[in-house]
Amino acid sequence: MSSVLELRGVGKTFGGVPALKDIHLAVGASELVALIGPSGSGKSTLLRCCNRLAEPDAGDVVFEGNPVPAGGAELASVRRRMGMVFQAFNLYPHLNALENAALAPRRAAGLSQSEAETAAREALERVGLGDRTTAMPDELSGGQQQRVAIARALALRPRILLLDEPTSALDPELVGSVLRVIRSLKEDGVAMLIATHEIAFAREAADRIAFLADGEILESGPPAEVLDRPKSERLQSFLSRL
Amino acid sequence: MRIFFDPEVLAAAWPGVRSGIGVTLGLALTSIAAGVALGLVLATIRALIRGAPLRPVGGLIAAYADVFRAMPPLVLLVVLYFAAPFAGIELSGFMAAFVALGLVLGASAEEIFWAGITSVNRGQWEAALSTGLSRGEAFRRVVLPQAVRLTIPPLTNRAIATGKNTALASVVAVPEVLNQAASVQAQTASPAPLLLAAGVYVALFLPLVRIGRWLETRFHIR
């Protein structure tokens, strides 16, 4: 099976300090791959290298068989098909839920206003917020805001979603609503690469887990293998501290 | 009291002052519009060229803003009107005042817009770019609307200051309110025309101050 997204030897340094070292990772169609690891291990940087919000210094990011272009309209077109969800939601505070989700379909994908709104409405229904289309972000709970952010990415019908700790900024009682949405997307066959601290969720929902420490993937494989039979000391101590 | 509000002098001064109101408003509105537009254009250029090879342009814009914020508008005005002709640049009094006030407001407005733009969270740029919006679209649809809200209160203050500074144009013989009042004052040796002018300025700019206050509450970020 060909990969939707593949990282081949990706490296990145910040001011001489290596943040990612020789990352090899592939996400297949309708696969969910979870990135786990301590804070500062490079999970966010890895995700941001995928759509070049962070510029990798080494290696290749390959999307649907082609290297991700360096810039311009070609990069924008890849970004549309590679949805991103942020830890801090980053909703547009001056736009309501529907406008948040309709902006890129209208202005990046070039749909008509009514087509864009239809795509946005469908995406909001998919995350269970079909009845909150006119709500402003600050009128929504954290969980609802994150679901709007997921809808914003889904409205572009992406081939893969990159989720950067989507539940880390949420109150504990709101985490479940977001994870339920992510699970339902998996059932619909949306490929996902998700950085998360929700180990229980990763165990049950992920096809594969990659453990990242100090910018390196130390272990990867099916959840049972990685979580129940950790080989490295780093992973053993990481899991024991949860 | 009689000296300050001499009805005969006031009646003699009124036609000139009334015609001056049009000149004052015309100069105020055109220089405010030009200054705000200039500031917005420059701040937009500065925001969109970040990281591009045109980066020195950003430094030039910042230098312009610094120099013209340090320049007293009256000094710039007399330079434009009395010194520029020696360089072959002949400006009417109105044009000299328009250019001086516009350049000074443009510098302040650029800094105000720029401060608003940079105070918008980086995550907003990233979210917009991650959905495939171009930098220009991300700026226009996501960043600028949020920046403008932060910009309204300081920008309103600068615009009002520019409006009031139109009185400086009286020194280069622009027949605006103060200039008209002063010439009647010179003819009659009565202070009444100046008080009339003061009242007219308050009447003209008090509504602007009120509108500014309303805009501040209207655009208050929740």
A79 near A20, Cβ under 8 Å? no
In the predicted structure, residue B221 carries a pLDDT above the cut 70: no
Would you state the structure tokens that stand for residue A196, as one six-digit string? Answer: 């998360």
A79/B129 touch (CB, cutoff 8 Å), yes or no: yes
pLDDT per position as a tens digit, A208-220: 999 999 999 999 9
Q: In A, which residues are within 8 Å of B222 by CB distance?
A: 138
In this predicted structure, the answer to whether residue A236 has a pLDDT above a threshold of 70 is yes
User: Can you name the residues that pair with A217 across neighbouring β-strands?
Assistant: A212
pLDDT score, position B29: 96
Q: How far apart are CA A238 and CA A38, in angstroms?
A: 7
| Mean of pLDDT values over A201-211 | 96
Confidence of residue B9 (pLDDT cuts 50, 70, 90): confident
Residue B213 has pLDDT above 90, yes or no: no
Per-residue pLDDT band at B222 (split at 50, 70, 90): very low
pLDDT value of position A121: 97
Q: Nearest residue of A to residue B130 by CA position?
A: A79
Which positions 68-97 of B are in contact with A (Cβ < 8 Å)? none
pLDDT top residue among A17 and B39: B39
With an 8 Å Cβ cutoff, are A108 and B222 in contact? no
Question: pTM above the 0.90 mark?
Answer: no
Nearest to B148 by CA among B47, B57, B60: B47
Q: What is the pLDDT of residue A1?
A: 53
Q: What is the largest CA-CA distance in chain A?
A: 55
Interface of A with B in 151-180 (CB under 8 A): 152-153, 156
Asked if residue B83 has pLDDT above 60, the reply is yes
Which residue in A has a C-alpha nearest to residue B133's C-alpha? A108
pLDDT at A141 over 70: yes
Q: Give the pLDDT mean for B48-68.
A: 86
Residue B222 forms contact with A (CB below 8 Å): yes
> Would the pLDDT of B52 be above 90?
no
Rounded to whole angstroms, the Cα distance separating B28 from B163 reads 5
B190 domain-assigned: no
| Tally of structural domains, chain B | 1
Give SS3 for B131.
Answer: coil
Tell me whether strands A3-14 and A17-28 are parallel, antiparallel or unpaired.
Answer: antiparallel
Question: For residues B218 and A29, which has the higher predicted lDDT (pLDDT)?
Answer: A29
Q: Measured between alpha carbons, how far apart are the two ends of chain B, in Å? A: 50
Residue type, B86: F
Mean pLDDT of A126-133: 96
pLDDT tens-place string over residues B164-204 = 999 999 999 899 999 999 998 888 888 889 999 999 999 99
Beta strands in chain B (DSSP E): none
Please say if the pLDDT value at position B12 is more than 60.
yes
Instruction: Identify the CATH number of the domain in which residue B168 sits.
Output: 1.10.3720.10
Query: What pLDDT does B11 receive?
Result: 87
Residue B74 maps to a domain? yes
Residues 6+ apart with CB under 8 A from B81: B91, B93, B96, B172
Q: Tell me which residue of A154, A156, A136, A153 sits closest to A145, measured CA to CA.
A: A136
Per-residue confidence at A46, pLDDT binned at 50, 70, 90? very high
pLDDT of the residue at B56: 87
pLDDT of residue B28: 96
CA separation (Å) from B198 to A118, B76, B167, B195, B206? 58, 24, 11, 5, 12
CB–CB contact A79 B123 (8 Å)? no
B29/chain A closest Cα distance in angstroms: 29
Query: Is residue B216 over pLDDT 90?
Result: no
Residues of B within 8 A of A108 (CB-CB) are 131-134, 137
**pLDDT class for B7, splitting at 50, 70, 90?**
confident
Cβ of A84 within 8 Å of Cβ of B130? The answer is yes
Residue B203 burial by Cβ neighbours in a 10 Å radius (0-12, 13-18, 19+): exposed
Contact B151, B119 (CB under 8 A): no
Best residue in B130, B140, B143, B150 for a mutation probing chain A (most A CBs within 10 Å): B130
Flag whether B17 is in a domain.
no
Asked whether residue B210 is domain-assigned, the answer is no
Disruptive mutation site among B131, B151, B218, B221 for chain A (greatest number of A CBs within 10 Å): B131
Q: How much is the average pLDDT of A183-194?
A: 94
Residue-level pLDDT at A63: 96
Q: B124: which chain A residues are within 8 Å (Cβ-Cβ)?
A: 90, 92
Domain for residue B57, yes or no? yes
Chain A positions touching B123 (Cβ under 8 A) are: 86, 88, 90
How far is C-alpha B3 from the chain's CA centre?
A: 35
Q: How far is CA A58 from CA A4, A12, A164, in A?
A: 20, 7, 22
For residue range B97-139, list pLDDT tens digits in order: 999 999 999 999 999 999 999 999 999 999 999 999 999 999 9
Distance between CA atoms of residues A94 and A78, nearest Å? 26
- A103 lies within 8 A of chain B by CB: yes
B38 touches B64 (CB < 8 A): no
**Cβ distance B46 to B58 under 8 Å?**
yes
* Chain centre to alpha carbon of residue B214: 19
CA separation for the pair A210, A24 (Å, rounded): 10
Question: Nearest-5° angle of CA B104, CA B109, CA B115?
Answer: 135
Contact A37, A238 (CB under 8 A): yes
Q: Please answer yes or no on whether A108 and B137 come within 8 Å at the CB atom.
A: yes
Average pLDDT for A156-178: 94
Predicted confidence at residue B49, as pLDDT, reads: 87
Q: Domain A1-81+191-242 adopts which CATH fold?
A: Rossmann fold (3.40.50)
For A5, A77, B204, the CA distances from B182, given in Å and listed in that order, are 76, 65, 18
**Mean pLDDT, rounded, for A92-121:** 96
Task: Return all residues near A36 (Cβ < 8 A) that are at least 6 apart.
Answer: A43, A195, A196, A197, A199, A202, A209, A210, A211, A212, A238
pLDDT, mean over chain A: 95
pLDDT at residue B51, rounded to an integer: 65
